[in-house]
Amino acid sequence: MLFYVVLLLLGAGAYYYHFRINRKKIIERLEKVVQRKRDDLLKNIDEARRISDKLDSKRRDYIGNLDFEQLKEELQKGSVTCVEAVRTYFHKAILAHEKTNAVTCFILEAEQQAEELDEKAKLASFVKPPMFGIPLSLKECLKVKGYDTTRGFVQDAYRPSTEDSIQIEHYKKLGLIPFCQTNVPQSLLSYNCSNPLFGTTTNPFDSTRTCGGSSGGEGALIGAKGSLIGIGTDVGGSVRIPCHFTGIAGIKPSKMRFAHRGGGTSVPGKPLVDANEGIMAQNVTSNVELLRSVWVDIDFQSDRDPYCPPVHWNESLYSSEKKLRIGYYIDDGWFTPTPALQRAVLESKKHLENAGHTVIPFHPPRLTDVIQLYFRALFLDGGQFILNKLMNDIIEPTITFQRTLCTVPAWIQRLLSYPVSLVFPRLGMFMKSLTRNTFELREAYAAIEAYREEYVSLMLKDDLDVILCPPSIMPAPQHDVPSKLLCGASYTFIYNLLDFGAGSFSNRPSKTVKPFPGVVPVTTVNKSDEEKLINEYPETDKWYQITKKATIGSIGMPIGVQVAAPPFREETVLRTMREIEIAVTGKLEK
C-alpha cells in the first residue's frame, strides 16, 4: 500500500512540475507578445495623432463641441466634411485615452473611408445615408477586417479578422465610420475592464474606480468625450453597467433584432443566455437615431443572416402618446442596492407618474433560482472553455473569482457548499450553480424556459409595458471589486436570461466635468446617500460588507436607472428612457 501511495505522490509531483515548467514557457512567450502589442499601440497612436494634426485646431475644437445631432446635421449639409469629423475624433479619442487607457487600436483606414465618402458627396446623384460621416467607436471583440478581436487574451493577438461582421458592414452602409477599438476585461466575463494585453481602463471621473465592463472601454471613451457613439456587446450587463458607471446612455436589444452570423462571443454554444450588440452614446436621443436607421434598413442584415428576422423600426411604439403601465422595483430580493441606486429609481418613477404613466410595484420572482440558472447556462461546460483559455494565457489578477469558479470541479463546489451555507448562505447557494452533467444542463434549459413564461405571465397579469429598476447594486467601485461581487450583476443578467431589450443611462458628475449637452442627469451620489449607506446599509455577509466599503467615498459619481421590456419592444424601452431624459433635462429633441 505504501508503495502505491509513494508512486501516486511521485506522479502528482511530476505532473505539477511539468505543469509549472510549461506555464513558465507560455508566460515568457506571451510576455514578448504583450510588449510587441503595446509598442505597436504607441506607434498606432502616433499615426492617429499625425492624422488629427492635419486639421486646424480651431476648426477641430469647433467640430468637437458639436453634439451628435448637430454633427449629423452639419455632415448632411456639407458644412463639415467626413475627413474633418474623423480627424477631430482621432484627436478627442487620444485625449480620452491618455486619461482612461480606453483605446486598443485606432482604425487608420477611417481617414480613407472618410475621403471616399466626401468624394461621393460631390456627385449630384449621390444620396447621403442617414449616418453620413459619423465616427463610430467599437468594442474590441467586434470583427473588423484586418484588426484583432482578442477579448483580452494575449494568445489571440495578431490574429486579425479576415472580414467585417454583418453588423460592421451595415454600419458602414449607413455612413458610419469605425475609427477605433476599445478595451475589454479578459474573457469578457467581468464588469471591470482590465487584461494583461492592454492593461486597465479607468473611470473618466475617478481613476481609482472602474469604468465597468465588459464594454468598459466604450463607456470610458464616450464618458470622457472621446466618442459620440459606439457599439458594445452585452451578455450580462456589459453595455448597461458601463453606461451607469460612466454617465452615458445605452441599450441591449433582444438577441434576434441583430444579425449574429460571423460574430463572436465570450463562450461559444450557450443558447439560452442571450448576448447582443448594443448602442452606447452620450444620450438617449443618439441611441434612438442610430437604432432607427439600423432597423428601418434591417433587411440588409436579414438578407445576409436568415436567423435575423426582418423586424423593422416600429415608430408607432416609440412615438405613441398612449400612457404606459410600468412595473418598478428597487430591490430584487437577492442583493439590496446602495441608497443612491434606490433613490434614482424612485425619482424616475415620479418623473414617469408626472408624465401621466401608471407605475406600480413589481417583484421579480425567484432571484435565487435566476442566479443559479444564469451561471449554469453561461458556464454550460462547467467553465472548461474559459479555463482552457486562461491556462494558456497570462491570467489577469482582477478576474480571480472567475478563474476559481472554473478551476474547482463542480462536484467539489457542491460538496463545500453545504458547510459554507451555514455561515454564508448566498455564497453556498452560488457554489451549487455549475452543472455537473448534461442531465442537469437539460434541466437548467427547461427551467429557464419556465422562468421566462413565469416572468412574462406576471407582466401580462398587471398589463405592464416595461420594467423600471436599478442597473447595478452600487456606483462604480474600485477595479478589484467586480471579481469579488460577480453576483452583484443580478439586476442586469436577469434580462439576458429573459432575452428582454434593456437600456441604462446616468448622469455625469457636474462637480468634476461640465455636463455634455443632452446627457441624461438622472442623479449622482450625494451626501445624504452616503449617510444612509453608513448608517442603514446591511452588513449581514461579506458581499454586503465589500459593497458598503467600495461605495463609501463615491459622492458625485454617476447613478443610472434601467428600463426593460420583452423582445421586439425596444422602441417602448427607448420611449420610456427618453421621457425620463426629457423630464430631467427639458430637452425636447425627437
- pLDDT band (50, 70, 90) for residue 518: very low
Q: What is the pLDDT of residue 379?
A: 92
- pLDDT band (50, 70, 90) for residue 510: low
How far is 48 from 101, CA to CA, in rounded Å? Answer: 15
Average pLDDT of span 74-97: 98
Task: Show the 3-state SS of 242-275.
Answer: HHHHHCCEEEECCHHHCCCCCCCCCCCCCCCCCC
Q: What is the pLDDT of residue 509?
A: 61
Q: What is the pLDDT of residue 519?
A: 30
Percent of the chain exceeding pLDDT 70 equals 97
Question: Which of these ranges, 5-19, 36-50, 165-179, 462-476, has the smallest mean pLDDT?
Answer: 5-19
- pLDDT band (50, 70, 90) for residue 265: confident
Residue tagged 434576434 (cell numbers): 256
Which residue from 192, 153, 122 is spatially nearest to 483, judged by alpha carbons?
192
Which residue from 408, 346, 336 is spatially nearest to 367, judged by alpha carbons?
336
Average pLDDT of span 352-359: 98
* Cis bond upstream, residue 187 (ω within 30): no
Q: Which amino acids are annotated as binding site for substrate, given as ranges?
A: 188, 214, 235-238
Q: What is the mean pLDDT of the chain?
A: 94
Pair 278, 245: CB distance under 8 Å = no
The total of other beta-carbon atoms located within 10 Å of residue 120's CB is 16
Pair 310, 298: CB distance under 8 Å = yes
Question: Above 80 in pLDDT, residue 351?
Answer: yes
CA distance readout (Å), 321 to 21, 283, 356, 580, 584: 67, 21, 10, 15, 19
- pLDDT band (50, 70, 90) for residue 586: confident
How far is 297 from 293, CA to CA, in rounded Å? Answer: 6
Pair 500, 272: CB distance under 8 Å = no
How far is 232 from 386, CA to CA, in rounded Å? Answer: 21
- pLDDT band (50, 70, 90) for residue 4: confident
Q: What is the pLDDT of residue 15?
A: 76
Question: Above 90 in pLDDT, residue 13?
Answer: no
How far is 194 from 200, CA to CA, in rounded Å? Answer: 4
Percent of the chain exceeding pLDDT 90 equals 87
Higher pLDDT, 221 or 260: 221
Which residue type occupies 167? Q
How far is 198 from 209, CA to CA, in rounded Å? Answer: 17
3-state helix, strand, coil in the chain (%, to 5): 50, 10, 35
Question: Which of these ranges, 11-20, 138-147, 159-168, 340-349, has the smallest mean pLDDT?
Answer: 11-20
Average pLDDT of span 353-370: 97
CA torsion 124-125-127-132 (nearest 10°) is -60
Question: Above 80 in pLDDT, residue 9?
Answer: no
Question: Above 50 in pLDDT, residue 512?
Answer: no
How far is 284 from 280, CA to CA, in rounded Å? Answer: 9
Residues 6+ apart with CB under 8 A from 474: 337, 338, 341, 488, 547, 550, 551, 554
Question: Which of these ranges, 92-101, 218-227, 260-269, has the smallest mean pLDDT?
Answer: 260-269
What is the tens place of the pLDDT at every residue in 376-409?
Answer: 999 999 999 999 999 999 999 999 888 888 999 9
| Sign of the four-CA dihedral 147, 153, 158, 159 | negative
Half-sphere exposure of 258 (CA within 13 A, CB side): 32
The three-state secondary structure class of 479 is coil
| Sign of the four-CA dihedral 417, 420, 422, 424 | negative
Which residue from 500, 493, 536 is spatially nearest to 334, judged by alpha carbons?
493
Which residue from 164, 141, 102 is spatially nearest to 232, judged by alpha carbons?
141
Question: Above 90 in pLDDT, residue 18?
Answer: no
What is the tens place of the pLDDT at every residue in 216-225?
Answer: 999 999 999 9
Q: Which amino acids are annotated as binding site, given as ranges?
A: 188, 214, 235-238
Residues 6+ apart with CB under 8 A from 246: 203, 204, 205, 211, 212, 219, 220, 222, 223, 476, 506, 558
How far is 124 from 14, CA to CA, in rounded Å? Answer: 75
C-alpha cell at 358: 401608471
Residues, the chain? 590
Q: What is the pLDDT of residue 507?
A: 65
Residues 6+ apart with CB under 8 A from 159: 148, 150
Domains of the chain in start order, with CATH, are 17-511+518-585 (3.90.1300.10)
Pair 572, 324: CB distance under 8 Å = yes
The three-state secondary structure class of 104 is strand
C-alpha cell at 219: 463607456
Q: What is the pLDDT of residue 511?
A: 44
How far is 433 from 175, CA to CA, in rounded Å? Answer: 45
Residues 6+ apart with CB under 8 A from 480: 192, 397, 398
Which residue from 80, 76, 143, 131 is spatially nearest to 107, judged by alpha carbons?
143
Pair 179, 107: CB distance under 8 Å = yes
- pLDDT band (50, 70, 90) for residue 445: very high
Q: What is the pLDDT of residue 589?
A: 55
Which residue type occupies 461? K
Q: What is the pLDDT of residue 24?
A: 94
Give Cα 264 to chain centroid, integer Å.
Answer: 15
How far is 351 from 328, CA to CA, in rounded Å? Answer: 13
52-56, long-range: CB < 8 A, 24+ apart: 52/87, 52/88, 52/90, 52/91, 52/94, 53/91, 54/87, 55/84, 55/87, 55/88, 55/91
* Predicted TM-score (pTM) above 0.85: yes
Q: What residues act catalytically?
A: 139, 214, 238
Question: Above 60 in pLDDT, residue 256?
Answer: yes
CA distance readout (Å), 20 to 17, 25, 392: 5, 9, 12
Question: Which of these ranges, 59-63, 271-275, 353-357, 486-490, has the smallest mean pLDDT?
Answer: 271-275
- pLDDT band (50, 70, 90) for residue 513: very low
How far is 483 from 49, CA to CA, in rounded Å? Answer: 35
Q: What is the pLDDT of residue 471?
A: 96
Question: Which of these ranges, 1-15, 56-70, 136-150, 473-487, has the smallest mean pLDDT?
Answer: 1-15
Q: What is the pLDDT of residue 56?
A: 97
Pair 274, 495: CB distance under 8 Å = no
Q: Is 347 exposed, middle or buried (0-12, 13-18, 19+ CB in 10 A)?
A: middle
Q: What is the pLDDT of residue 327?
A: 98
How far is 473 from 551, CA to CA, in rounded Å? Answer: 10
